[in-house]
Structure 1
Amino acid sequence: MDAHTLGGPDLSRNRFPTLFEVLSRQTVAPLDLFSFYIYMRDQQRSVDYLDFWLDVSQHLALCRMYVRRLHRSVIEDTPELEKNSKRSSYILDNAGEGPSNEKGNVSDQRLSAFLRSDHGSRQHSPQNSQGSNQSNRSTPGRERPPRPSFMPLDTNSPGDSSSPGQMSSSENVPRREDLRASAEKILYTFLLPGSEREIIIPQSILHDVQEAIEGPDQRSDPELFDAAKDYVFQAMERDAFPGFLQSKGLGNLVPQSMMIRLIVGLVSFFGACWAAFILIFLDKSRTTRCWLILPFTVSIYFIFTHQYMLDPILALLGYSEYTLMDFNRIREPFVKKTLRARSITLLLLFLFVDAAVCCLFIFVPGKRL
């Protein structure tokens, strides 16, 4: 079984990953989900869209956990049923494989269908539900700061409880009220106009989601967010992901570092030119003018790294910049190969331009004014 089937990083691909692979945690640095989150937060300024997508995925994981625990309780209460027939709870645990092809995952449609059918026998008053109480507390105030949701999308252990809806049981076992609390929190945090971290989606999609959660059906199945989730995914894929690939797949610097390099490069270049003309018009020897190599080399190197968003020396050493002056190892093989090729080309171009500029100011005849 390969890494893709297991849902882990696929290091054998000879291409840049897709957005789905990044969101599914099938990639490693510098194209991993953490890097994409930082890019959406610091450069795109639209991290709420990514947080919405992650929280909906967390909601799906919570629903799957609820169904598994319900299935497990059925098996424990009726052990003879498990021995005599595997059809005892087919709809709960054997309805198919999820999008990640992970064994044991319930398909989204059948999972939602089961939760909707189960809802009729588990009605509860929205006034008494944990979701309504939590939403009423959290909607007026803006206490929730932006934060990444980096828990695994599929939770199997009893202790995994960091989902959009808080577990109400002391044993961290999800209940039906937790599913509703999770759905309401997503609605009141991201979708309603004026909400804490409102994202822009079509009004028709918003109306359908709001009606499904607050209407008479009081749905909490993950399928109700499908349209909004697909819209957000397409928006990120169209508007943010190409820039992310260009920034992290073809470069290894962040905008703050690039700006600092541009400023230092331009100041060094003008200082080198000023010193060069002074030495020429003072008719200094070529040996003395050889010191101009230092400021010209620094200035041209920094200007080139800004222009190409790439520090070739760092790339050849295998490092990429996450945030300003925070460097991490490049683990994605295709990115490492791509940056190595671009770095060699950039270094050759830099050496050619640097040599030409230095020769121009060193070997030009001097004339004392």
Structure 2
Amino acid sequence: MKDPMEQDYEQIQRERLPTLYEVLIQVTKAPVDSWEFYTYLSQFPYAIDYLDFWIDLMAHIRLCKDYVKGVRESVEFNETIASRNRDEVNIEDDNESVSSSVLLDALLNEGYLDFQNTKRVSQFLQGDTNDSPRVSRLVDGWKRQSGIADGQNHPLALMVDEMLRKETRKLKQPKITRKQLVNNALQICNIYLLKSAEDNKYLINVPERVKNQVLYDVQQEQRHDPAVFEPLKTVAYQFLEIDCFPKFLSTVALHNIHDQISNWRYQSPGLRRHRSKSPFSNYTVLSRVLIGLIWLGIGFWIGYTLIFLHYSRAIRVVTIVPFALGSYSIVCGLYQVDILYAFFGLTQALMYQEKDGSQTDRKHSHDYSEIPTIFKLLGGRSRLIKIQHDFIKKLLWKRALWCGFLTTLATAILTVIFSCVPGYRL
């Protein structure tokens, strides 16, 4: 049996909207998943650049983790196949040979290869081992043994790369090297921090102090550790969290009908021109309001015709049909909440998905098999997806009840007026 406090915590977690961090690490479900967030930001060129930077930075951090993991695996491999005596090295003797395996083993024991200790790993990636006297003496001994000058930068990185190259030749398995990490960090700087005519992903509104410091650390100091991007990461996250994410939530969590967003950002020119043929897909709000006005016009025309032809009040009640359809369309269009969609737990995806789309599109597309067939007949199934977030489903259901109340009220008022007024034959 669960603890009451644990049950309360789980209940609180279920009764809330997701956070930006949960969306970015891809633990949320439609319609607040990371792909919908990316699609939403694609209509804002400068905002999507910050999300692209975040994605590339996370990929760089994964490369750093793979680099450290490769070093750890190499240490373990060397320990497994080692046939020589692994007695304790006398580090006080300057003439003693210092092997790379001994140095890497010391790095492992000192926690420099433990990614749970982010500070230690960052120091290792920077080549800074000054706070460990044992590792520092081993590095100095390896430098003297290898003939590396004291003034040369990154002696530890040189040793690790040399060991990884040997490991690659032995196992014929490619390993990530420091050079690749440096090149990847330089590429991030070139794309997002330097203006270029070829690439339009330059981050605007980044403080010059932050930008210049990152450029100096990467270009001049040849740093590639995740800590070097930490100030820029904070700026990007705050921008996404404060300026972008609330608007995204208000769009997808409080509304279930949306105008179609263009896919200009990540599709070929031929596919960019493709849009759904349904007006309810391309211009959802406008089309519903216009069709609602048309139905109201039909209702007024029928009502006035029956009044001036002096039909009985019982016959004039037929105006309830066009008034109901008109009120439904206008209210749903203005509130951007479709009552039927909410009843079936559906919402519109922000972008139309082709059945024969590219592999990338199919990878991120949603499952449309659970959509009721009736919506296919109404021309709106192509963009409908199931709401998999219970709290958002509940929010939309409450808003749909309010829309249903307004629709019923407007329909009743108009029907009563045109049914109860005295008839007069012209």
Displacement of 1:43: 6.4
Which of 76, 86, 94 lines up with 2:114 in the alignment? 94
| Counterpart code for 2:209 | S
Displacement of 1:231: 0.8
- Structure 2 partner of 1:364: 421
- Structure 1 partner of 2:207: 202
Displacement of 1:60: 0.7
- Structure 2 partner of 1:133: none
Aligned residue pairs: how many?
305
Q: What is the distance in 2 between the residues matched to 1:278 and 1:18?
A: 56
Q: What is the distance in 2 between the residues matched to 1:223 and 1:242?
A: 28
Q: Is 1:68 the counterpart of 2:69 in the alignment?
A: yes
Displacement of 1:348: 2.5
Displacement of 1:44: 7.8
Displacement of 1:338: 1.9
Q: Deviations over 1:182-221 (max 9, x none)?
A: 2122212222124431121122111111111211x11111
Alpha-carbon distance change, 170 to 77 in structure 1, aligned in 2, over 3 angstroms: closer
Helix, strand or coil at the partner of 1:15: coil
TM-score, scaled to structure 2: 0.64
Structure 2: runs of 5 or more not aligned: 1-10, 89-104, 129-152, 160-170, 260-282, 353-379
- Structure 2 partner of 1:303: 330
Q: What is the distance in 2 between the residues matched to 1:226 and 1:22?
A: 20
- Structure 1 partner of 2:124: 114
- Structure 2 partner of 1:213: 218
Residue pair 2:114, 2:120 contacting (<8 A) in 1 also: no
- Structure 1 partner of 2:251: 247
| Counterpart code for 2:123 | A
Q: What is the distance in 1 between the residues matched to 2:87 and 2:317?
A: 90
Displacement of 1:116: 0.8
Alpha-carbon distance change, 68 to 301 in structure 1, aligned in 2, over 3 angstroms: same
Q: Which runs of 4+ in 1 moved over 4 A?
A: 83-88, 169-172
Larger radius of gyration: 2
Moved more, 22-31 or 60-69: 22-31
% same residue: 30
- Structure 2 partner of 1:260: 287
Helix, strand or coil at the partner of 1:320: strand
Structure 1: runs of 5 or more not aligned: 1-9, 97-105, 125-168
Displacement of 1:278: 3.3
Displacement of 1:345: 2.9
Helix, strand or coil at the partner of 1:58: helix
RMSD: 3.1
- Structure 1 partner of 2:385: 328
Alpha-carbon distance change, 297 to 172 in structure 1, aligned in 2, over 3 angstroms: farther
Displacement of 1:347: 1.6
Structural mapping, 1:113-262, within 5 Å: 113-117=123-127, 120-121=154-155, 122=157, 171=173, 173-194=175-196, 195-200=199-204, 201-215=206-220, 217-255=221-259, 256-262=283-289
Q: Deviations over 1:279-336 (max 9, x none)?
A: 3233344454333222222221121112222112111211111135511111112112
Q: What is the distance in 2 between the residues matched to 1:110 and 1:34?
A: 34
Alpha-carbon distance change, 261 to 43 in structure 1, aligned in 2, over 3 angstroms: farther
Displacement of 1:88: 5.7
Alpha-carbon distance change, 228 to 259 in structure 1, aligned in 2, over 3 angstroms: farther
| Counterpart code for 1:117 | G
- Structure 1 partner of 2:24: 23
